[in-house]
Amino acid sequence: MRRRGTTPGGGTDSGGAAAADGDRTRRRPEAARTGRPAALDPDPILDSINEGVFTVDLERRITSFNRAAERITGVPRDQAVGRRCSEVFRASICEGACALREAMATGRAPAPRSIYIVDAAGERIPVRISAAVLRDSQRRVVGGVETFQDLRPIEALRQQLRERRGFGDIVGRSPAIARLFEVLPQIARSDATVLIEGPSGTGKELFARALHDLSHRRNRPFVAVNCGALPDTLLESELFGYRAGAFTGADRDRAGRFAAADGGTLFLDEIGDVSPAMQVRLLRVLQERTFEPLGSSTPVRVDVRLVAATNRKLADLVRAGTFREDLYYRIHVVHLEVPPLRERREDIPLLVEHFVEQFNRLHDRELEGPTPEALALLLDHDYPGNVRELRNAIEHAFALCSGGPIEPRHLPVAIRDRKRSTADAAGLAGLPLAEAERRLIEDALRRHNGHRGRAARELGLDPSTLYRKIRRLGLAPPPRDGRRRRPAT
């Protein structure tokens, strides 16, 4: 047995630490006579730990493989030794961002990272890896060592926590969201009409879907209609359908959304934007549970559970005379209010984790979560666009971050520039809400040369919602809309 710190050639590592074959492992003599890399005898200490450990030579061929590595990968030691590590682990970083290659090229240990490997059965396994170089007594790099931790138990715990903190894509642990989670199952058991109020981007449709998925109607259709995105004539035909010949171009019958949702749930978003004439038709449907398609005098009976949503206070619209009081009380049977994200900041870390996992799956990426500095910026932002704005911010980070954790430089300017955000907020302090909203929209349109799509993305709004706000606030359209126009031919 050789002394501590000696190398296979008999030299002593100048740092007094383990050399290329480690402190307590020995090369098999017969390995030198084969065409495979010299393997190392099993180390009882390495075999006793729960983390996978393996070493490689300069060609990244495996020279040792501990028992935990066998268990996690499903690959026996004698089948792993001598093969390239990329053939054993089949990780997405093997070709482009190999941690061992980086360590041996730079001589420095790269930052630990979370990745997926593929085991012998073809299952993707989440692991956290750390890599370092191995040197001989002359401090020359002769190989590398990598440790990896199986993250499946941690992922299972996270899934259990997520299941206790949400329904589907609704994530939160704040008292306001917890109260909604408590009442959703009870409300779902009834067929009562539900009104969901909350600012744009808070996820009102997700709550409507949760009500449907928890109800006895779950196996029937869930149909969503954005009432604010359609003029009256189109909204009427969209909701109630039409018969052939009802108007020019109606060459065949078409069923509307009420008929499509028969037996299920109809979600009417932005119901506060519906005109008084359309409000009369909706009231009749709710009272009689029948409607007449355009061009027909025959009533159609439907069994539909109605869930309505708005980003405006309907009670204020009733007092202003722009929303019918009788319709208001018809849809205000059960009332849910979704708070803005700035009032439930404790939900931000959970939402960030949820969106990172979502985009990792969507784009087949393995980005880590935000650094503490980036998370601090995300927690500090007020989110006028609410959850939608936070989701857009994480998507923005995915576009800029090639790997590893999300850093402040990967976040949108509006979030990472605290000074600018503070100055903007100070300039709006004390203004009425409508005036503050007007200034924010005007500034965004000015910065983007009138391009409504880009301004909407910066504000965290849907373009159709921004267009409605422009009309409601009476803003003059900019002289240019910022879009490139094709030259006339």
What structural domains and CATH numbers belong to the chain? 29-152 (3.30.450.20), 165-339 (3.40.50.300), 343-472 (1.10.8.60)
Dist CA 459 CA 436 (whole Å): 13
CB neighbours of residue 195 within 10 Å: 21
Measure the CA–CA gap between 384 and 201, rounded to whole angstroms.
9
Per residue in 197-208, pLDDT (tens digit) is 999 999 999 999
Residue 310 has pLDDT above 50, yes or no: yes
Residue 285 has pLDDT above 80, yes or no: yes
Model pLDDT, residue 156 = 72
* CA-based nearest residue to 270, from 326, 311, 237: 311
Which amino acid would we find at residue 27? R
pLDDT at 236 over 50: yes
Integer Cα distance of 487 and 252 in angstroms:
38
Report residue 40's pLDDT band, with 50, 70 and 90 as the boundaries.
low
Max Cα separation, the chain? 99
pLDDT in tens, 180-189: 888 888 898 8
Is the pTM here over 0.85, yes or no?
A: no
Residue corresponding to tokens 């979600």: 267
Q: What are the b/e assignments for 359-398, b being 16+ CB within 10 Å?
A: bbeeeeebbbbbeeebbebbeebbbbbbbbbbbbbbbbbb
Given a contact cutoff of 8 angstroms between Cβ atoms, the answer to whether 199 and 207 are in contact is no
Task: Tell how strand 62-65 and strand 305-310 pair up.
Answer: unpaired
Q: Per-residue pLDDT tens for 41-63?
A: 566 777 878 889 999 999 989 99
Query: pLDDT category, 299, cuts 50, 70, 90?
Result: confident
Alpha-carbon gap, residue 21 to 27, rounded angstroms: 7
Backbone phi, psi, residue 254, to 5°: -140, 125
The two three-digit tokens of residue 349, written as one number:
């870390």
Residue 31: pLDDT over 50? no
E strand or H helix at 291, and its extent? strand 290-291
Q: How far apart are CA 381 and CA 228, in angstroms?
A: 28
Closest C-alpha among 357, 310, 308, 348 to residue 330: 308
> Among 11-15, 96-100, 134-138, which range has the highest average pLDDT?
134-138
* DSSP one-letter code for 487: P
